[in-house]
Amino acid sequence: MRVLAAAVSRSFVQRRGFASTARTLDNYAFVGLGQMGYQMAKNLQSKLQPSDRISIFDVNPQSMQGLEAEMKAASQGAAVELASSAFDASKDADTVVTCLPEPQHVKGVFDSILVASLPTKDRVFIDCSTIDPSTSREVAKAVSAAGQGQFVDAPMSGGVVGATAGTLTFMLGAAEKLIPRVEPTLLHMGRKVLHCGEQGAGLSAKLANNYLLALNNIATAEAMNLGMKWGLDPKKLAGVINVSTGRCWPSEVNNPVKGVVETAPAGRDYRGGFGISLMKKDLRLAMVAAKEAGAEMKLADKAFEVYEDAEKKEECAGRDFSVVYRYLGGKEE
């Protein structure tokens, strides 16, 4: 996910620092404290004002309690409350941030939030989940129909490292008029906000990029394996690729051959990085969205098969997606 900001077209508008024009919102909620959400919520709380309040919820009570303890130990930022449900966390919030694993989780959370008894409220929901655009648009319509304000999509790039450091890049899908209202919250958790268009556009941009990443990763593994089978030194081969037309993030930053890039996951048995299960998930979502849009993806099925088969192998499961090099039988010294 860290590669997305580098690949974004110049046509996107990068925006920073609208905080001076934003409406003051002092009640926040954060739902979904997984590996990414936990760190994002921690950064958000620490950068809010002491007069603000943030209510957090996750289905895992231990995550909530652990985060509450860290927040209180830091003795800064907004007041923290633990909620008993997503509804409880969000009912009084002006800004609600969600970060959930799959489309069904997003729909389930919003089904629980948008109950008929809620009074009309002008608030904003910022969904940072990576899901399909059609589900996102469906939820956005439900929020609007319930008179609960606006729903925007803001998937992110940067991984757990970026979430921890507060250096994430967000791809925002929202009406132009909502940017000043949404951006300050996102910049508490990240470094850049790229406005991609109307609601759903952030997800479309991310999935298009990650589809390309999925293919580039396999092609890089195949090219490195091919060159080494021909007797080429992997560092010299990568050096040629990275000053030539084959250059890409998997070849230059996340090279799948151990020793070519010292900081790449290949040097630590493919541990850490962007998990192969996440790559498979994003590829699947891109394929669903492409089918709905009537876009042909000739390489998608084969690429998905590669990731699916690789993940089933014990030596590849749970590792960075560059482990497809190992799946292809690449030489490891």
Would you name the residues annotated as active-site residues? Answer: 206
CA–CA dist 124, 149 (Å, integer) = 6
Residue 60 DSSP SS3: coil
In 3-state terms the chain splits into helix, strand, coil percentages (rounded to 5) of: 50, 15, 35
CA–CA dist 97, 1 (Å, integer) = 20
Query: Residue 20 has what DSSP assignment?
Result: G
Residue 261 DSSP SS3: coil
The answer to whether the CB of 181 falls within 8 A of the CB of 202 is: no
**Lookup result for tokens 């699947």:** 284
Output the DSSP codes for 160-224: HHHHHHT-EEEEEES-GGGHHHHHHHHHTTEEEEEEEESTTHHHHHHHHHHHHHHHHHHHHHHHH
